[in-house]
Chains A and B, each alone.
Chain A
Amino acid sequence: MTGYNLSRLNFLIVDDNKHMRALVKSILHALGVKNVLEAADGADAFKELRHFPADIIICDWNMSPLDGMDFVRMVRTGSDSPNPFVPIIMLTGHTEMNRVTEARDTGVHEFLAKPISAKKLYTRVRSIIENPRPFVRAGIYFGPDRRRQENPNYNGKERRKDDTVEEQMDEAAGEMSQDEINALLEG
């Protein structure tokens, strides 16, 4: 296995749980990452972004006062966002299908289901490095292209023209495993 040297990348971890931050930080250090900054909530993280050039953000969903989704929206579409293109990995225990699609439709790059492991985290980072995606502004959506695969024979409805968040969301039907989440996002 030939992997990547991550030592020059800057990571921002956003989680209100200090134990989870400590865990993610320890994993990143063990993977050779040198520069890790922590923030306890979305508002704090947004402030940090003004002077910290994050290459990848790892963000929890459940936080207050500003939760993970609010934070992602601010980064992607806020007029004062320092970096609307920064890759974001959503790290959360929410693995219901409607939650996964909501995260995707808010503009996250990758979805990492808790409980986490070093391998799972590295796989998501590697995916961001290996598959840089163009950004799409369509309707109310602004974020990485949600189509990970080009299908030249696609002759279905052009969904981008009347793209809405609601259109993409099916009702939740139970919890999903990380493999199912990957299949949904990559399908």
Chain B
Amino acid sequence: MSEDETKNVAPQVIKPPMTLQAKVEKGGPGAVDLKALEKAESVIANLADEYLKWVQEDFLRLEKAFNVLKSGEGDVTQNLDNIFQIAHDMKGQGGSFGYDLMTAIGDQLCRLVEKMTKAGPREQEMIRVHIDAMRVIITKNLKGDGGNEGRQLLMGLQLVSGKL
């Protein structure tokens, strides 16, 4: 059916099979309660050590993508998008493990890179300071909002981004 033909068909409401509901019970042993939720949160906290290893892999990928951008080889839009994708991953992970500033700076790097239409020395420098700031967060183990140091870092980066 073409899109135009589809539009002329009256809306249909369909009741899907309740297979999922038939498989879950409320309460009883094994049901999710506050204790289970706390346990699940502590599992995440225990994975934080693993995260510190994972994030080093992300930094390697990010440096590699940054070096390609700097070299001027290939398509600049694609090179910028590669950086965006890695920063986007790091943004999603940081806060999940308590590194909220990684999420904030990762997000800022994404917003910055998506605005760029070229990658001259000025743009490269802007990206560089964001990568370095993310490294500082991990090196100094700045969890949460990073306190005063973290807020200043973020404010400085916002000033840099505002210049684009």
Give A contacts to B, CB under 8 Å. Answer: 1-9, 17, 19-20, 22-23, 26-27, 29-32, 55-56, 62, 85, 87, 92-93, 114-119, 122, 128-129, 132, 134-140, 145, 160-164, 175
Contact = CB atoms under 8 A, between A and B. Distances in A.
Nearest to A64: B85
Interface residues of B, number: 53
Contacts of A132: 16, 18, 20-21
Interface of B: 3, 6-7, 9-21, 23-34, 36-37, 39-41, 43-44, 47, 50-51, 54, 85, 88-89, 91-97, 100, 103, 107, 110
Contacts, number: 155
A119 B37 contact: yes
Contacts of A22: 47, 50
Given A55-B23, A118-B40, A140-B6, A3 B31 contact: yes
Given A5-B30, A138-B11, 14 more contacts: A5-B29, A8-B24, A20-B89, A23-B93, A23-B96, A29-B43, A31-B40, A85-B17, A93-B88, A116-B96, A117-B44, A118-B37, A118-B44, A132-B18
Given A31-B40, A118-B40, A119-B37, A93 B32 contact: no
Contact of B13 (A26, A62, A136, A140): A136
A93 B36 CA distance: 26
